[in-house]
A and B are shown apart, each in its own frame.
Chain A
Amino acid sequence: MSTRRSSRGSRLSEVVQLEEREEAKENTTPTKRRGRPRKTIGGSIPEEEDDQQPTDASPPKRVKVSSRKKKVVEEEEQDNAEPVSVTAIGSLPERERETENLAKYIEDILAENGSGSLYISGPPGTGKTATLTKIISDRKLATKLKMVYVNCTSMSSAGSIYKKICEELSLSVAGTSEKFYLMAIEEYLKRKHKTVMLVLDEIDQLASSKQTILYNIFEWPAKRESRLILVGIANALDLTDRLLSRLQARCELKPHLIQFLPYTKQQLVAILKNNMVQNDTTEMFNDAALQLLAAKVASTSGDARRALFLARRLVENASKEDRETKKANAKLQDKPLSSPPKKPVQIGLVVNTLKQVYGTTQTMADDEAFPLQQKLLLCSLLLVLKAGKSKDITVGRLHQVYRAVCAKRNLQVVDQTEFLNMCSLVETRGILRLQGKKEARLMRVQLQWDEDEVHNTLNDKQLIADVLADTSCAQGK
């Protein structure tokens, strides 16, 4: 019985899909139109009214739009309050070219009154969202375009994107299912309207098994009379090739690609300098320290967020020292704490902080931080890897070797359950990886770190050398 029901269900879903497809076809043919009859091309004024009326109906949306417009102003105000801010995106140095490119692309589309799709990719922290927010908040463009910004991580599921877009466009929808929202959007696109700029941030969240949603969205610009500029933002360079390979088949559907490259050292220096000039805190950093910081960040990730985080942390460290000295001075002299002489961040401090952040995962402050039994566990693992025949190490086997090692040294042995617990404690440090089978004894143990790194962390040369010399223990006898 259940099979029959499920088959019926699948048939139903097929029907739904068919309907969707038919609708899609229907929309491409401009014969049927449910909306109000089109007016002449010159009639842009009544259209704006059409846009305005629903906004009046839903006041919260209007608040949102206005807040977005204010954002830049607000950010600038914020900047003055804090020394170096991660969020300072008032102006975007080193992204002028991309901004110009984007603006030109949009202008072109606006000039020919057409539509287009755009995909922006780049590693995290390269200013993709910042650039887009800047363009969105541009007053000049805002008069010509209707901006819709949606961050796709806020969706409950990929399908609810339509609902969100409807809310942003303040459309009235006939029903509550996904299909109705989609219909409403497509109808809106068919009707006369201002050109819509739809920005979908973190678009990779919309990926589903058949990619129907992504395909639907990317097909909107290709429809006639849909004046839509679609902008997708994500990290992956080849998202459109990987997930949306069918778009390659039709040239008009192919999204225009813009790539944001990781920042180079000079660019990072320029960003940091610009940030400090804005906040009048240029004296906080000397040039060498800035160069070092930028070089390090550029060599590892080229992520401006990281550079700003690091700069902020340096300033915090420096101001902490400042505060402490101030407190000490105040106690000694009873002077008011005004206008402290700000020392610039020294290069030594930069080196220290970088070492903390980019150094080995763990720098042991004292030798005793690593429990003895865990040391023995790691030593036994090294021994098995060095002297054992098979590299397939289970917890049971490792326990056997560990027992032999302990017996040689007259140390107390922990039993298997405790041993497993210890393995998972070492795993939290990232040195090991336990790969799960159901049975604890059959779990596989894999060393994740380089052996030299383990040696450094254990910081106990004598013990390691001693255990590793004992190849007879490797068989667990």
Chain B
Amino acid sequence: NVEAVGTPKRNIQLSNIVEEFAEGRRTSKVMHETPKKATVEEPKTPKSARGRPRKSTSTVVEEYKSTPKSATKLKLIRSGAIKPNVQARDAPVQISPDDQLAVARERLHVSAVPKSLPCREKEYSEIYNFLEGKIIDSCGGCMYVSGVPGTGKTATTTAVIRSLQVLAQEEEIPTFEFVEINGMRLTEPRQAYVHIYRQLTGKTLAWEQAYNLLDKRFTTKAPRRVTTVLLVDELDILCNRRQDVVYNLLNWPTVPSAQLVVITIANTMDLPERLLMGKISSRLGLTRLTFQPYNFRQLQEIVMARLTGTSAFDAEAVQLVARKVAAVSGDARRALDICRRATELAEEQSRKVDKFVSVSMGHVQKALGEMIASAKVQTIKCCSRMEQLFLQAVTAEVARTGIEECSFLGVYSQFEALAAFAGVTVPNPGRAIAICSRLGASRLLICENSRNDIYQKILLNISSDDVHYALQASSLI
């Protein structure tokens, strides 16, 4: 009889019962589930509601505005007839050129790519020569660019392509098409075909169709074909187990009729050897370029180049930022972010004293403190007295046993001893477990599920020095 009624309904009820008992609540959820039938009746309405915001994000040609049929509109979007756009705002606020700090802040934004990239001249010329040679010879090829994040890989490559496009417009070199994909922006590696095809023709197709058309385009000979430059960012995301997408992207340049130049960008320097199959790294070739992290002089130059003409920054302040960042990662984005934060702090101060304050060492020091600060020490300082005592007990237990992992039982006995020493009453084990799970939730401790009660294992997620340091500051020890 069960099957005749319909299985899903019974399933729902069963799971509800289990849920109710798990949560310890008696209010029946079945009551909420039953009107579901009514909502099932009208599947059309939510769909149109969902479609509505999409309408506002795309410019609709006048005649379609009156009758927005979703199907025709989707078709138009897929064929590339309507372009997506965002609602425009009112006129933006004009920044007065006198406001040095605001000007500096705008220039220091990471997204503001300068016209020329300082300190990357060598890499620029390498990529330029490679691409120019390939375009002039009208043949295919691959290049692999690697380096740690924030060292200007993508910025340099796009700058090269921009200058080549200018040259092509002036007809000094043959024209070429430029296609750009980013592995992180694809939901799936095979979507790469869709994106490439869309950038070439403006139409959106399913990936299989897109692949077939691209394959046809690259493998058949066309006398008037121009070179296509394909920039693949975040190559490592495109590598799945079969690696068929990467294979195809790197195999097309070897086809003589394709005239495809592929530039691949990734972080890992030994990616071709580590991740890619032998046949793919053989196709990737040996033209490789590594971007080294910036040293402090280069970082200083980068920041100063952005600040030319403003007197918002003291020179020492920039130097401090550059030295601090260069010692850790050599990431230009980070240096710029810290500088921006310092300008914000300076602005705050200048508003307070009501006169212009340039960014000094003090502001930078404060910004660095905020950005590289250890939040964990702060957290320990702000913990309750018992939590601090518990942390101390964990460090004491680790010191006693010499093993990093300790059991709750041992910690609790240490906890008792410490509490007696401090002259406070000990919470009972149940409360102590609650303390332990609170500390675990803030990731100061790594602890097991609390269902193991007193046998659960506890690990310290910070170094014991940090605990001592924080507790000293809060004058517990």
What is A's interface to B at a CB cutoff of 8 Å? 1-2, 60, 63-64, 67, 70, 74-75, 78, 81-83, 85-88, 123-125, 153-156, 202, 205, 235, 301, 303, 305-306, 309-310, 312-313, 316, 319-320, 357, 361-362, 364-366, 368-374, 396, 399-400, 403, 414-416, 418, 421-422, 425, 427-430, 439, 441-442
CB of B275, distance to nearest CB on chain A (Å): 11
Q: Are A305 and B274 in contact (CB under 8 A)?
A: no
Contacts of B248 in A (CB 8 A): 153-154
Q: Are B244 and A205 in contact (CB under 8 A)?
A: yes
CB of A199, distance to nearest CB on chain B (Å): 15
Instruction: Provide the bound-state CA to CA distance between A123 and B148, in Å.
Output: 32
Interface-centre pick from B220, B257, B283, B286 (highest chain A CB count, 10 A): B286
B2's closest neighbor in chain A, by CB? A1
Q: Are B255 and A87 in contact (CB under 8 A)?
A: yes
Instruction: Provide the bound-state CA to CA distance between A70 and B255, in Å.
Output: 13
Q: Among the listed A78, A357, A396, which residue makes an inter-chain contact with B256, where contact means beta carbons less than 8 Å apart?
A: A78
Instruction: Provide the bound-state CA to CA distance between A74 and B256, in Å.
Output: 8
Instruction: Provide the bound-state CA to CA distance between A371 and B335, in Å.
Output: 14
Instruction: Provide the bound-state CA to CA distance between A75 and B219, in Å.
Output: 12
For the complex of A and B, the 8 pairs showing the least CB-CB separation, nearest first, are: A368-B295, A124-B282, A430-B270, A415-B374, A124-B279, A369-B292, A87-B256, A153-B244
Q: Are A67 and B221 in contact (CB under 8 A)?
A: yes
Instruction: Provide the bound-state CA to CA distance between A64 and B212, in Å.
Output: 12
Known A1-B7, A235-B279: A416·B462 in contact at CB below 8 Å: yes
Instruction: Provide the bound-state CA to CA distance between A406 and B463, in Å.
Output: 14
Contacts of A155 in B (CB 8 A): 244
A-B contact pairs, 26 of them (CB 8 A): A2-B11, A64-B220, A67-B220, A82-B138, A82-B139, A86-B141, A88-B256, A153-B251, A154-B215, A154-B248, A156-B208, A235-B277, A301-B282, A316-B130, A361-B269, A362-B290, A369-B330, A371-B327, A371-B329, A371-B330, A372-B327, A415-B376, A422-B329, A428-B148, A430-B269, A430-B274
Interface check B412, CB cutoff 8 A: no
Contacts of B293 in A (CB 8 A): 369-371, 425
Contacts of B278 in A (CB 8 A): 123-124, 235
CB of A443, distance to nearest CB on chain B (Å): 12
Contacts of B221 in A (CB 8 A): 67, 70, 74
B327's closest neighbor in chain A, by CB? A372
Instruction: Provide the bound-state CA to CA distance between A366 and B122, in Å.
Output: 14
Instruction: Provide the bound-state CA to CA distance between A306 and B142, in Å.
Output: 12
Instruction: Provide the bound-state CA to CA distance between A74 and B465, in Å.
Output: 71
Instruction: Provide the bound-state CA to CA distance between A124 and B256, in Å.
Output: 18
Q: Write the B130-172 contact mask toward A (1 if CB under 8 angstroms, else 0).
A: 1001000111110000101100000000000000000000000
Interfacial residues of chain B within 1-47, with CB under 8 A of chain A in the complex: 2, 7, 10-11
Task: Give the number of chain B interface residues (Cβ < 8 Å).
Answer: 69
Interface check B247, CB cutoff 8 A: yes
CB of B449, distance to nearest CB on chain A (Å): 14
Q: Are B256 and A75 in contact (CB under 8 A)?
A: yes
A234's closest neighbor in chain B, by CB? B279
Known A75-B256, A153-B244, A425-B148: A310·B286 in contact at CB below 8 Å: yes
Contacts of A60 in B (CB 8 A): 216
Interfacial residues of chain B within 242-295, with CB under 8 A of chain A in the complex: 242, 244, 247-248, 251, 254-257, 267-270, 274, 277-279, 282-283, 285-288, 290, 292-293, 295
Interface check B296, CB cutoff 8 A: yes
Q: Write the B365-398 contact mask toward A (1 if CB under 8 angstroms, else 0).
A: 0000000101011000000000000000000000
Known A366-B295, A371-B327, A373-B328: A428·B268 in contact at CB below 8 Å: yes
Interface check B129, CB cutoff 8 A: yes
Q: Are A425 and B329 in contact (CB under 8 A)?
A: yes
Interface check B459, CB cutoff 8 A: yes
Contacts of B292 in A (CB 8 A): 364-365, 369
Contacts of A430 in B (CB 8 A): 268-270, 274
Contacts of B286 in A (CB 8 A): 306, 309-310, 313, 357
Q: Are A361 and B446 in contact (CB under 8 A)?
A: no
Instruction: Provide the bound-state CA to CA distance between A57 and B267, in Å.
Output: 49
Contacts of A374 in B (CB 8 A): 328-329
Instruction: Provide the bound-state CA to CA distance between A357 and B144, in Å.
Output: 12
Interface check B326, CB cutoff 8 A: yes
Instruction: Provide the bound-state CA to CA distance between A205 and B7, in Å.
Output: 40
Q: Are A396 and B404 in contact (CB under 8 A)?
A: yes
Interface check B58, CB cutoff 8 A: no
Q: Are B459 and A441 in contact (CB under 8 A)?
A: yes
Interface-centre pick from A64, A153, A156 (highest chain B CB count, 10 A): A153
Contacts of B288 in A (CB 8 A): 357
Interface-centre pick from A85, A88, A428 (highest chain B CB count, 10 A): A428
CB of A292, distance to nearest CB on chain B (Å): 16
Contacts of B270 in A (CB 8 A): 361, 430
Q: Are B279 and A202 in contact (CB under 8 A)?
A: yes
Instruction: Provide the bound-state CA to CA distance between A416 and B292, in Å.
Output: 24
CB of B341, distance to nearest CB on chain A (Å): 16
CB of B236, distance to nearest CB on chain A (Å): 10
B279's closest neighbor in chain A, by CB? A124
Instruction: Provide the bound-state CA to CA distance between A439 and B444, in Å.
Output: 12
Known A153-B244, A320-B129: A403·B376 in contact at CB below 8 Å: no
Q: Are B219 and A67 in contact (CB under 8 A)?
A: yes
Contacts of A123 in B (CB 8 A): 278
Interface-centre pick from B138, B146, B279 (highest chain A CB count, 10 A): B279
Known A154-B215, A306-B285, A429-B269: A418·B372 in contact at CB below 8 Å: yes
Q: Are B465 and A403 in contact (CB under 8 A)?
A: yes
Known A368-B296, A422-B328, A428-B268: A416·B463 in contact at CB below 8 Å: yes
Contacts of B311 in A (CB 8 A): none
Q: Among the listed B139, B146, B215, B329, which residue makes an inter-chain contact with A78, where contact means beta carbons less than 8 Å apart?
A: B139
CB of A345, distance to nearest CB on chain B (Å): 15
Instruction: Provide the bound-state CA to CA distance between A27 and B138, in Å.
Output: 51
Contacts of A442 in B (CB 8 A): 446, 459
Contacts of A301 in B (CB 8 A): 282
Instruction: Provide the bound-state CA to CA distance between A430 and B326, in Å.
Output: 20
A151's closest neighbor in chain B, by CB? B251
Instruction: Provide the bound-state CA to CA distance between A81 and B7, in Å.
Output: 70
Interface check B461, CB cutoff 8 A: yes
Known A85-B256, A369-B293: A205·B242 in contact at CB below 8 Å: yes
Known A85-B139, A369-B293: A441·B282 in contact at CB below 8 Å: no
Instruction: Provide the bound-state CA to CA distance between A400 and B464, in Å.
Output: 9
Q: Among the listed A67, A124, A202, A371, which residue makes an inter-chain contact with B328, where contact means beta carbons less than 8 Å apart?
A: A371
B328's closest neighbor in chain A, by CB? A373
Contacts of B283 in A (CB 8 A): 124, 305
CB of B326, distance to nearest CB on chain A (Å): 6
CB of A217, distance to nearest CB on chain B (Å): 18
Interface check B197, CB cutoff 8 A: no
Given contacts A1-B7, A368-B326, A429-B148, 15 further A-B contacts (CB under 8 A): A1-B11, A64-B216, A67-B221, A74-B256, A309-B285, A309-B286, A313-B287, A361-B269, A366-B295, A399-B463, A403-B463, A415-B376, A416-B463, A425-B149, A428-B268
Interface check B313, CB cutoff 8 A: no
Interfacial residues of chain B within 205-234, with CB under 8 A of chain A in the complex: 208, 211, 215-216, 219-221
Q: Are B296 and A316 in contact (CB under 8 A)?
A: no
Instruction: Provide the bound-state CA to CA distance between A374 and B326, in Å.
Output: 10
Contacts of A403 in B (CB 8 A): 463, 465
Contacts of A416 in B (CB 8 A): 376, 461-463
Contacts of A305 in B (CB 8 A): 254, 282-283, 285
Q: Are B461 and A439 in contact (CB under 8 A)?
A: yes
Instruction: Provide the bound-state CA to CA distance between A430 and B266, in Å.
Output: 13
Contacts of B285 in A (CB 8 A): 86, 305-306, 309
A157's closest neighbor in chain B, by CB? B242
Q: Are B282 and A303 in contact (CB under 8 A)?
A: yes
A67's closest neighbor in chain B, by CB? B220
Interfacial residues of chain B within 287-307, with CB under 8 A of chain A in the complex: 287-288, 290, 292-293, 295-297
